[in-house]
A and B are shown apart, each in its own frame.
Chain A
Amino acid sequence: MNYKPQTTITAWLLVMPAVALLGMFTHVPMIGSVLHSFYSTERPRRPSRFVGLDNYDSMLDDPIFWKALINNLIYALGSVPFSIALALAMALFVNERITGRGFLRLAYFTPTVMPMIAVANIWIFFFTPDYGLIEQVSQFFHLPAHNWLGSTNTALFCVTLVAVWKEAGFFMVFYLAALQQIPNDLKEAARLEGASGWAIFSQITFPLLMPTTLFIMINALINAFRVVDHIFVMTGGGPNNATTVLLFRLYEIGFKYFDHGQASALSVVLLAVLGMIALGQFLLFDRKVHYQ
């Protein structure tokens, strides 16, 4: 390719500011995390020194780390499919000429617009034992009382529910955009040939939505490791670490206990997880997607 020096200089000048910032706050920190994970935490009496894999050893020895990892996986496996399914359902509902369509679109999307910190407070009230909304409804139906956020076996479920509630509406918009791109003639033709609604959906609509579905899936998966605001407010990681996930644990270790060596090691683990997601995306996108 013939690269004109004039163009090259212009081009590099144009990308430089963005690339410099990206380098400074994404790429360099990634390398920094790896490097710092091999050094001990700096304390006033004892400066930071090279300790090899010690931080990783302590981390693997810490049962809370394993809890956080498992919780995060459960959280991801719980929130991703449901977010996608609900987003698709919402988009399908809103795409047709259904009564109150504008209102519905509003209702589905509103959670996205509110700060997670704010809505988490409201959800705490819903889950409060005795007089919280859910408990009041249960009492009305004579169901047994339950302490939703204060029990180790339901806290993570509640937190996942809030995440799905927050995100489904946002993903709905992507599906909406994609649905509107599907040419109507395809569906008309199928209908004329006597195909049922379900057949049209599963054989025409859904396959054409594949790129969107994969896009949303990757995003939802990344969010499962990135969105922890509601955990701060609703459970503080408890009870007994039942809702501690990796990023939350990272915050605890780095900014409550100020243990930087451990925090770096945990950052590396998070990066590795995200790396695997990226790899998955790369492989999947090249195989399954139907592009025009």
Chain B
Amino acid sequence: MLTFNRRLFSAMALALGLAATPVMAADVEVRFYYPVAVGGPVTKIIDDYAASFEKEHPGIKIKPVYAGDYVQTLGKALTAVKGGDSPELAILLAADLMTLTDDDAVIPFDDVLKSNADKAWLGGFYPAFMENARVKGKTYGIPFQRSTPVLYWNKDMFKAAGLDPDQGPKNWDEMREFAKKLTKKDASGAVTQWGIEIPSDGNTLWLFTGLTTTNGVRLNNAEGDKVTIDHPKVAEALNYWYNLSKVDGSQPSGLINWGTTPRDFIEGRTAMIWHTTGNLTNVRTNAKFPFGVAFLPKNSQYGAPTGGGNFYMFKGISAEKQAAALTFVQWMTAPERAADWSIKTGYVATQPAAYETAAMKAYTADFQQAIVARDQLQHAVPEVTVHDNQRVTKVFNDAVQAVITGSKSTEAALKDAQRDADRILKEFK
């Protein structure tokens, strides 16, 4: 009875004639979901890559599907997987690794790599990017659009404030001092130029990890089942961030939006910002002033989280599609492409070999800013990568936002967050 109704139902529904059925072609079709988290005409670049790949590899059709930001893309990919309609590939946060493996949604690339050359290919990436791509020794993610946060500064504003325009702040004290000097107010006391903006609304935890790492504390363990939130060094980092607004008045108060911050910098509303290196090309194209890019200022050490997305391959696709998808991934991450992608966006090229290509050498010859993030890799740590990552990230974000908006004290916020995170991670121990 149930089957009859179901078939009748589906038939009725499809008879409404609104479904768009994909045409079955002889070509192998590889769909991949991708997010856009940085400025610039990224969809066009991806579409161009797909077209070039198809020219070099007739018989494989690539369908890029733009799915929003990282969180939306993860949501769509997982929904598609659970709905029985999974794509072949997706570019998702490296940090969502365990969420994906816990849900048994992705397969390790080791299973798909056949030849020795293929296996050697895995070793060509920067180790810093591979750290949160492996679970139990198997590689699930292939780095594609990786980044670290960096500090951008407006050289003209530095000069006007009597600071050396070629030197960014090297440590926390300098950053604080510079920010105060760079904050300008008009006659009525309203701020016309902010000293610094560290966005707290969007990628909150990622930037916060920049503060905690430079303060010498790690937020999670390698197994991904324990987080450190209620810790004096974490509190110190959070207070430093909050005080820039509350005490110094050199940062806007309340939440600062990730999306509007680069524009604020470009339009001269703020002298310094913390943002992803992935916005470098966007800033370079649009800023009408000379600007510098620096490591995140250190407190007890230099440090930064790696960020960005890896390619993941989904479970349950045919061997033929796996091979096609693998070919595409290898093509997309080849040194020439990695170099090209890095030049067009500002993401860090994922392999040392990419920096040896002619194109990259020419580019970095007169634009040193492009290699700052790569150089920062030596101090980099993986961003927070734990089980049920989205949920735990939200716990961190809520705590940071509670303090930044002045609605909770640092002690209370961190204590509550530790309790909530422990509760979520309990079942994964």
Contacts and interface: CB of A to CB of B under 8 A. Distances in A.
A130 interface: yes
B201 A239 contact: yes
A149 interface: yes
Contacts of A256: 71, 75, 390
Interface in A238-291: 238-242, 255-258
Interface in A31-65: 43-45, 61, 63-64
A44 B253 contact: no
Interface string A136-172: 0001001001110111110000000000000000000
A238 B103 contact: no
Contacts of A128: 257, 260
A211 interface: no
Nearest to A153: B407
A129 interface: yes
B252 A255 contact: no
B405 A152 contact: yes
Contact of B252 (A43, A129, A152, A238): A129
Contacts of A131: 269
Interface string B90-121: 00000000000011100000000000000000
Interface in B166-192: 188, 190-191
A257 B254 contact: no
A253 B308 CA distance: 24
Contact of A63 (B79, B252, B255, B416): B416
For the complex, would chain A's binding face be called helix, strand, loop or mixed by DSSP majority?
loop
Interface in B263-290: 264, 269
Contact of A152 (B75, B390, B407): B407
Contacts of A139: 188, 190
Nearest to B192: A130
A152 to B, nearest CB: 4
B86 interface: no
B351 interface: no
A150 B405 contact: yes
B201 A150 contact: yes
A258 B201 contact: no
A45 B407 CA distance: 40
A45 B103 CA distance: 8
Contact of A150 (B78, B188, B255, B391): B255
Contacts of B57: none
A240 B405 contact: yes
Contact of A238 (B82, B191, B401, B420): B401
Interface string B239-261: 00000000000001111110010
B407 A258 contact: no
Contacts of A255: 75, 79
A31 to B, nearest CB: 16
B254 A129 contact: yes
A152 B201 CA distance: 13
A147 B407 contact: no
A147 B252 contact: yes
B269 A130 contact: yes
B402 A152 contact: yes
Contacts of B269: 130-131
B29 interface: no
A151 B104 contact: no
Nearest to A149: B255
A63 B254 CA distance: 22
B336 interface: no
Interface in A114-142: 128-131, 139, 142
B390 A43 contact: no
Interface in B313-366: none
A70 to B, nearest CB: 14
B144 to A, nearest CB: 23
A44 B253 CA distance: 44
B422 interface: no
Contact of A258 (B82, B104, B260, B402): B82
Q: 3 tightest CB-CB pairs across the interface, nearest first?
A: A147-B254, A150-B255, A150-B254
Interface of A: 43-45, 61, 63-64, 128-131, 139, 142, 145-147, 149-153, 238-242, 255-258
10 contacts: A44-B102, A130-B191, A150-B201, A150-B254, A151-B405, A152-B405, A153-B407, A240-B402, A240-B407, A256-B390
